[in-house]
Structure 1
Amino acid sequence: GGFRLKREGSKECAINIGLHLAHSPTRYSLKKSPALAKLLKWERGTWSSLLLAFWAYVREQGLQDEANAVMVKLDEPLQKVFEDARIPMTQVGERLLEFVSEVDPVRLDYTLCLSGEAKPAVFEVAVEAEAPIVSSMRAFLDLGQQRGEREECERLDAEMSSLVREIEDRRHRRDFMKSFADQPISFLHDITTAMSLDLSTIRSTAPSQFAALSSEEVLRAQTWQQPWTEEAVLQYLAMHGHAVNLHMEDVLTEEDAILFAQSAIAAAGASQAVHNGEIPAAQEAQYRASLLAQATPPAQPG
């Protein structure tokens, strides 16, 4: 973060910037009484730390009145500060308030140049912060009250993680379908090319009739009309996170997956036939439909 300073004119000038830090809890100093700060070995800090420093001094010097336990006998250095010989314990805080003030703001000396390019400056400011162990102790003391809130936060974190995973899955699925809708020919060409590279791995442990295809066989439309192609497409899509998980309720059914695979195979075969000059481009749609009809099994009689 930062801020800008502007001033009309052409002469540079020295300015003093005061930054009042928002301490929580509020911090005080004993700048009004250096003598008291020296006695208590306390210059600035929170109000509670000042009271602790005062009572520590009282205990060390044995200043509590034995005859009247509610009174504090002041030694000579304290008498010079408070101008009194005895102070009731109930008035200690009130008397200390006479000497405390809020800590001074952070002062930054800066020369404001009103000609030429702007000259940014960076200042390092030391800020007092609560010790980590104090925060840990406070958290431990509040553990009972925070247990219910922590459990609720953990539940919400788990719910958010689940939603993030679901969003990611749906994004992959959407990207997959959008790529197919935008450029179906190039998309199917890419997917069939990748399929041919994966087939050797997929079928490495399968029977011999599923051996790796040669580059010439890959280019033949008949190759992709064999019975094993449907399973190969489904396995490929499943490996890449886009396919249809037949065991999940929110994805495609097996029939839908097979139909999609058959459509992909038919489109790839028609595209390859046009590419090889086997059919004119104008007949690609008709040829694709015929391939799909050949790959689709006839309906079983009811």
Structure 2
Amino acid sequence: MSKKNDSFVASGGSSKKDKKKLKTSHTTNQPLLQNTQQQQQQQQQSHKTTSLTGGSLPLAYTFPIEHIVSFCPEALLFTNLLEFEKRLDSAITKRQVDLQEQQRIRQPKLFKTLRLSIYNTYSNQSAFYHLDNKSLVSVQDKPSWTLRIEGKLNDDGSFSQQSIYKGTPYAQQQQQQQQQQQQQQQQQFQKKRKFTSFFKKVFIQIGHRDSCEWDKSQALLETDGFEVKRNGHQEIDIKILMYLDHSPQRYKVLGNLAGLINVHTDTKPRIINAFWSYIKTNKLLDLDSKKINCDDNLKSIFGLDVLQFNQIPQILREHLGSPDPLEFNYTIKLSGDRQDYEQAYDVNVELDDNPISMNNSAAKHQILSLDEEINQCVQKINVHKRKREFMSKLADQPLQFLHDQTQQLVKDYQVLKSNSSSGFEEERHSSFYYQPLMSEVVDKYLSKQSISSPQTHVLPPSTPQTPSQSS
């Protein structure tokens, strides 16, 4: 078996212990290092613009408000503003969700065809058989293959679930004008959609010992495809699981309940509506007590004789699961033209052409810039607070303060200059870490960590693999 512990560069999110992230790129022809640097800049920007939403400050800049109220009464106003911002964000988010749901109900569903392509490329495969393992010095010289998953919307495959409208010619003309306006908005929105925006998670099983995972919640950028590179000179089977990102969230009805209400996968409100239709059709609702008398089918599913009306969402939640992913099987080929073994699939995806969700980028950018200014101001206040405390202690008791400072400096100097023979005996006790100096040192360390630019990390393979033996 060939050695497959290649370099795998994580481009977004935090790495897991046993799984590695997929490397994503805007176009498959761009170099890996360039894409990594772009995402590092985004990650660095996200570190610098820590949001204050939710009434919390960055860890390195927090300090007790009561300590500065005496000389800065505006601090109480700032905390009140944070609480108000928290309530305002919650109200805006709730209202936005309501508007989006109402707009989805009024407008017909629009579906598009997503053309999915899976193929692989390879390099240095023929040269491997003329060299032994000792001659393969660098990764570039080793035989390798690259799996690529790409996708784009097919404009010719769009269709709508709206029924044919039959009315007066004037009404039909008005409807055609509305449809044209909607199509123009949809075309502008579709130009911004990337391939990864249609999925929330992608899992790739490589053989039996290696796997990769991409999670949308940990990705920094939306891209046009995925790319996985490995070292190897043998064909290997690949299993790809792609989880669609439904909006609103959809659920799979589990067990016999799916056949009972005739729903396999749908949104939670529609599942509850189908369950309520079953209750009304079979006349299971007791109008006097407002209770639901379970028939034999419901008794076998829920194990209850009577249901309360307000128990329906909670009971149905126990019989709902995640939708089934899209599953594809692919075999890495190391000879021939890639067009001969490229696989293509058409997937119907629902487009969220809601303009409410389209006009948020400018506002979010403005909020991030304001948050960055607030963080800088808070950091300056914290610095001036320490200076004020220093001067205040010096003014109150100059002799005692200078004596304490001198002892502290001598102690710090002894700790720094202590050799290995004497040992750091004080560091073995917890009281050493409760000194006033420690809080300042920790703040400085966290500040440097938050503003330092991230470096490119080469992740090890998920499981150790043995190198191949040359025949």
Q: Which has the higher helix share?
A: 1
TM-score normalised by L of structure 2: 0.26
Q: Whose relative contact order is higher, 1 or 2, with alpha carbons under 8 Å and at least 6 apart?
A: 2
The TM-score normalised by the length of structure 1 is 0.40
